[in-house]
Amino acid sequence: MDDHLTKINELESFNVELVSIHYLKPHEEIDNNRLTEIKESIIKEGLKFPIVVDIESKIILDGHHRLAVFKELEIDKIPVYYVNYSDKKIIIDTWNEIRVTKDDIIKMVNSGKLFPNKTTKHMIFSNNGYRHISSITPRINVNISEILNTIKKQ
C-alpha cells in the first residue's frame, strides 16, 4: 500500500464525499467469496478507491462489494465519487451474455430486486475510448479507523 493515507478531511479535494450507506441503491447481488476477499483487503490495507454512484438516483455503478463490507462492519458512511448517470459518455457493457440498459437498471432498483453478480459493467468514454468507470476515480487510501473516528465526531 502507498505510504500516504488520505485524511478524511482531504476527500473533498478528490471530489469524494463521505455518504450514508442508507441512501445508496445497489442493483447487483454480491458474491460471498469475493466479499470475503475484499473485506480482508479493506481491513488490512484500508479503502483504496471510493465507490461510484449516480448523483441523482444514488444507484451504485461500481462498488457493490465495498458497500457490503461497510454494511458488515457496521460503518454507516462510505466514500463516494458521484457521476451523472444520464451522461451519454457512460454506457452499460456486460460481463456475460445478459444485455441491460440504464433504464433496465433503474427499473430493477425501483422494483427492489437485484441483477445477478457481475451482470453490468459501467464504462465511460474518454480520449482513449471506453474504459471501466472505476478508471475515473481517484485513489484515496483511507484507513477504516479514520472513517469510524470521523463518523463518531459528527
Does residue 125 lie within any of the structural domains?
A: yes
Does residue 3 lie within any of the structural domains?
A: no
Give the domain CATH number at 128.
3.90.1530.10
The SS3 assignment for 48 reads: coil
Query: C-alpha angle with apex 59: 125 to 48, nearest 5 degrees?
Result: 70
Does residue 153 lie within any of the structural domains?
A: no
Percent of the chain clearing pLDDT 90 (strictly above): 64
Give 79-123 pLDDT, tens digit per residue.
Answer: 999 999 999 999 998 777 778 999 999 999 999 999 989 889 999
Does residue 1 lie within any of the structural domains?
A: no
> Does the pLDDT at position 2 exceed 50?
no
Verdict on whether the full-model pTM lies above 0.85: yes
Does residue 23 lie within any of the structural domains?
A: yes
Question: Mean pLDDT of all residues in the chain?
Answer: 88
The SS3 assignment for 154 reads: coil
Does residue 140 lie within any of the structural domains?
A: yes
Does residue 62 lie within any of the structural domains?
A: yes
What is the β-pairing status of strands 51-54 and 77-83?
parallel
- Hey, which residues does 121 pair with through a beta bridge? 93
Is residue 120 within 8 A of residue 92, CB to CB? The reply is yes
- The residue range of the domain holding 44 is 8-148
> Does the pLDDT at position 6 exceed 80?
no
Residues 6+ apart with CB under 8 A from 97: none
Q: How many structural domains comprise the chain?
A: 1
Residue located via cell numbers 493515507 = 5
Does residue 115 lie within any of the structural domains?
A: yes
**What's the number of CA atoms in the CB half-sphere (13 Å) around residue 90?**
21
